[in-house]
Structure formats: C-alpha cells, structure tokens
Structure 1
Amino acid sequence: MSTQPRLHFYRDPGEFLAAAGDHLAADPVVSTVVTTIAHRLSSRQADGIALPDRDWWLVVRDAGGSVVGAGMRAAPFAPYPPFLLPMPDEAAVALAAALHERGEEVRAVNGALPAAERCAAELARLGGGRVQVGQHTRLHELGELVPPAPAPGRLQVATEDDLELVTDWFGAFMGDADEQAGRPRGASAHEVPDRAELLLRLRAGRLWFWVDEAGQRVHLTGANPPSFGVARVGPVYTPPAQRGRGWASNAVAEVSRLIRAEGARVCLYTDQANPTSNKIYAALGFRPVVDMANLVIVR
C-alpha cells in the first residue's frame, strides 16, 4: 500500500470546503486566506456567477485518508499563482509534478513555507528556470490588544459613496507597500479588487476610514468577514502626507475591537521587508504565527 500523499483537485469551492472544512477549521488563522476566498467564491457561485476555468482547490490526504494539507489556485491576478497551506514536503513535490503533467503554466507559487518553496523548486526543475523570492510575508494573530497612544478623530465606516476614493487608496496601498519594502512599484503579485468586489466589501461594512477632527478622511483599514471564527485585517493604508500621526495604529486597534466584539479572532499579514508596519503591529499585540512567501519562477 502506498504511503505517498494523495492529491484531490476540486473545481467547486463548496465541495472543497466540505472535504477539508474540519482540517481548515483546526487551524483557522493559518488557513485564513484559503478559507476566506473559498467562502467568498462559493457565495458568488451560489449567486450564479461563473468562476474561471483555471481555478482549482486542493485537498491532500495521507494513506489513511486523513487531510494533511490544502491549497488553491484562485488568484484573480496574473500569473495566477497557486497558494499553498502547510503540507508534507512530498505532497508539495507531488503537486508540482501533477501541475507539470496537466500542462498548467505556473510562474509563481505563494503560501506557507516550506511547502511553497518545495513546490516552486520542483516546478523550476521540471520546466526549467530558477526560483526568486518576490516577497516574504508573515502572518500574525492578535494576542492581548495594547491600546496605542490616542490620536484625534474616530473610526467611520466607508459607504458606496466612497467607492472612488477607496479604489484609489487600494491602488496606492499596493504601490506604496512595494516602495516601503525597497521594491519597484508594482513588483508584488497583487491587483486592486474590481469595482464589483469593492462594492461588496463596502455594502458589507468591512472598510473603515479614520477621520480627523475636521472630518477629513486620513486613513483606510479593511477586514474580511470572519471565516471559521477568524477575521483578517487588511489593507491598512495611510496617504504619505498623513503618516506618522497614529492614524493606522488607532484604526487597526478599533477595527480589531469590532472584530472581537463579533466573537472572532484577529489576524493580519505583514511584509517582512517593511520594518515600520511590523513595529506598529507588534506594539499593538500582534504575534507571529507562520512565515509565508510569494515566489517567482524565472525562465
């Protein structure tokens, strides 16, 4: 009997959640990206919105049938990198072989280490090329919230009337994050959510401004709806002219309190190359959980 992990691919995120739900729920902070996207796309599918043919969801089982890993390929931005959760090394290598055999073009792999590294290295070996680190990220969970020094102003939920400003700030957030980490603008494999996605977030009340005493919007913080009892904060964006005034610390603290009032745990990602944001979140009480990376396969 083979002891090799078995890979099960799903096209339907709902079927994936049914198969892997217990495994994902056992470590909901680590699985936050996969579960959040799976629940979101499952809801879209239920509303009659077709998902791209390229999307897939992965469950890894051991010889006894227990789920020991998971992943997905559901990124809406090129080069559509798979996102891997922790899994045995041999499963990550087997996944690379399976994708190569399926003829899928994979030019980047994101997710938990070392699984993403193992998969990317094998893909490079099979298809030629070398692996470069696009971005090192770290997932944190909030422990005891440490209140920041108070800043003037208050949190205010964003509405549909704020769509244009929210769109602009989402785009600026991506580029500024690259610059602050010493990368060229646009280097990170992300794109601004489309209008429909941002409208859904606004209607759900999951985006907030910090407004100063004059009522000016000076900062934006977002959060995903809770998935398996965990809500992920992001983006966290302050325009350059407003930085250094405590807006971000106060906004993230307030949003974290709101999430906890819902009964959910709070997590967020940081870019390991950005010491400023890492320092801010550590001061609020966020503690590292797992290191992840965005890896690029250069041919």
Structure 2
Amino acid sequence: MTPTLHFHADPGEFLDAAGDHLAADPVVNTVVASVAYRMAARRAEGVGLPEDDWWLVVRDDSGAVVGAGMRAAPFPPRPPFLLPMPADAAVALARTWHERGEEVSAVNGALPAARDCAAEVARLCGGRVEVAQHTRLHELDTPAPPAPAPGALTVAGEDDVDLVAAWFGAFMADADEQAGRPRGASAHETPDRDELLRRIRGGRVWFWTDAAGRPVHLTAANPPAFGVARVGPVYTPPEERGRGWAGNAVAEVSRLLRAEGARVCLFTDQANPTSNRLYARLGFRPVVDMANLVVVR
C-alpha cells in the first residue's frame, strides 16, 4: 500500500472527507474531531482561522481513509496532532514537511504514528526525539461515584470568566509540577477570553462550590463530537486539594454528559499517579496511549 496525503485548509471540508473514519472510533479520534468541529463553527461565524492551519486525510490505494491529523494548535511550537495511521504514512508526512520547508519541532498524538513521524523529522534535520509528556486516553466504563463531598456542581456564568481564565491558565503549570516536571514545561493552549466565553455560554464549564457557595474547583468539557464528550481541564487550586472536590465534580459532570447520550472520555498524564488513581476509582478505563514529542536539534 502506498498511502496518499490529502491536506485541507477548511475544517468543514476535512470533516466531510474524514467524518465516517472519525466516527468509526470516536473516542480515539476525539481530539481531532472536537477541534475540527469547533474551528468549523468559528469559520461559519465569520471568525478568521490561521492561514497555515491544515487538516490531514490519509488514504490507501483504494481511496479508503486510513488516518487523519491536524496542525491547528495556537500555541508554540504549533505541534501537529496525529491519529493512528500506517507507519509509511507517518514517515511520508515528515518528508512532505521537509520538502515544502514547513518547520516542525514537535509532534503530538497517537502511538506509534507520532513516534514514527517524529523519528523521521529528527533524521531529516539531524536531531533527536525526546518525550515531553506521555498521556493516556480513558473512557468512562462503569461509573463508580466517590464518597460525597460537601457542596454542589454549579454551571459557570459569564461573570465568572476571569476566574475561569485564571484556573485554565494554572492547570497545565500545576499539572507539570505534579508530574515532576518544571512548571510551564509543557506547551499548551490557554484559550483567549472570547473562546472561554463561548465555552461558558455553551454550558460546558462547571465549578464545584463548597457548602458556603464558594468556587473551589473547575471541571470543563468539550461539546460531543460523534457522540463523545471529552472532559478537561480538571483543576483544583493547591489549597483546596485532598477534599474530594475533583472526584465529585468529574463524576457529576460525567453523569450529566451521559444523560445527554454522550460517551465520556478524558486524558491523564501518565507521570501523575494521583489523577490516574482518581479516574480509575471513578470507573475510567484506559483506551490508548499517546505522547507529546519534541525534536531537539
């Protein structure tokens, strides 16, 4: 088989081309599917998208879709995100970038495709591949509610946008620290105010409030794509940890999403034993390992 790579500038056209493929394994494909839907909606609203974003469809000799990916990350170094694809397609992708002078210094996504691609990038530029973060995608199997904690889940409102922004921003830095990495070591997206307001207006950001009504935890989720809703970020400020807020919030958000008919998934950092144990206790089961890889020159 000689795979062919088809690049799309329009996320809507990408969804038309790859939709059936994405829908066939919607949990594994959740990141690309949800981002494509979000960006297609923004394009329909008249919001301009970066001209160098692309959406990839990989086809085999018969024309069947056998892989997909995207480069739509708004944060440096704008790592492409790859879904499962044949090894020769992942290698061909790295060579295509090289031939057209597209600078790539990091590759995220499913293994082994992301590793195969990053290894070829490193070979072509004379660098080496390092793992910035090992992640694991989990799906909620049989819910196991935690011990009740005081308080309740509350939908965030527009007036909460400043607190939501602060906690979104703190999430990855704290996650790095919990995983034993320097704070801020992981490149990540901090949504701008307009994007946060879209999420809040969509009812996809929640607080856990304590018995006094004070926000002590944040859990968010993406709108379902092909019937799968991805939870995240899940953030508790350091001074509020260890009180059961996160477990109760994630369990209740997951219950609401399943009541809508969605399957529920989330990512964990494999280096963070605390979050991995928590989600296992709540009934989440591993689906696939992924990685964020960097090419060091």
Q: TM-score, normalised to structure 2's length?
A: 0.99
Q: Distance in 1 between matches of 2:167 and 2:262?
A: 26
State whether structure 2 residue 249 is matched by structure 1 residue 243. no
SS in 1 for 2:20: helix
C-alpha distance after superposition, 1:4-37 (max 9, x if no partner) = 1111011000000000000000000000000000
- The number of aligned residues is 297
State whether structure 2 residue 116 is matched by structure 1 residue 118. yes
The counterpart of 1:136, out of the listed 134, 152, 165, is 134
Q: How does 1:112-261 map to 2 (within 5 A)?
A: 112-261=110-259
Instruction: Tell me the equivalent position of 2:274.
Output: 276
Q: How does 1:21-170 map to 2 (within 5 A)?
A: 21-170=19-168
C-alpha distance after superposition, 1:78-97 (max 9, x if no partner) = 00000000000010000000
Give the fraction of aligned pairs with identical amino acids, expressed as a percent. 76
Instruction: Tell me the equivalent position of 1:8.
Output: 6
Q: Distance in 2 between matches of 1:208 and 1:28?
A: 24
Q: Distance in 2 between matches of 1:86 and 1:189?
A: 22
The one-letter code sitting in structure 1 at the alignment partner of 2:16 is A
Q: Distance in 2 between matches of 1:283 and 1:129?
A: 41
Q: Distance in 2 between matches of 1:107 and 1:197?
A: 26
SS in 2 for 1:48: coil
Contact 2:69 2:82 in 1 (8 A): yes
Structure 1 unmatched runs, 5+: none
The one-letter code sitting in structure 1 at the alignment partner of 2:163 is L
SS in 1 for 2:5: strand
CA RMSD of aligned residues (A): 0.6
Instruction: Tell me the equivalent position of 1:290.
Output: 288
Contact 2:73 2:189 in 1 (8 A): no
Q: Distance in 2 between matches of 1:54 and 1:130?
A: 25
Q: Distance in 2 between matches of 1:272 and 1:202?
A: 29
Structure 2 unmatched runs, 5+: none
Contact 2:138 2:286 in 1 (8 A): yes
Q: Distance in 1 between matches of 2:114 and 2:261?
A: 32
Q: Distance in 2 between matches of 1:5 and 1:73?
A: 19
Shift in Å, 1:127: 1.4
C-alpha distance after superposition, 1:128-162 (max 9, x if no partner) = 21111000000000001001001010000001100
Shift in Å, 1:174: 1.1
Q: Which runs of 4+ in 1 moved over 4 A?
A: none
Contact 2:133 2:269 in 1 (8 A): yes
Contact 2:115 2:293 in 1 (8 A): yes
Q: Distance in 1 between matches of 2:243 and 2:112?
A: 38
Shift in Å, 1:164: 0.7
Contact 2:87 2:113 in 1 (8 A): yes
Q: Distance in 2 between matches of 1:197 and 1:47?
A: 13
Q: TM-score, normalised to structure 1's length?
A: 0.99
The one-letter code sitting in structure 1 at the alignment partner of 2:64 is S
Q: Distance in 2 between matches of 1:201 and 1:212?
A: 23
C-alpha distance after superposition, 1:57-95 (max 9, x if no partner) = 000011111100000000010000000000000100000
Shift in Å, 1:191: 2.9
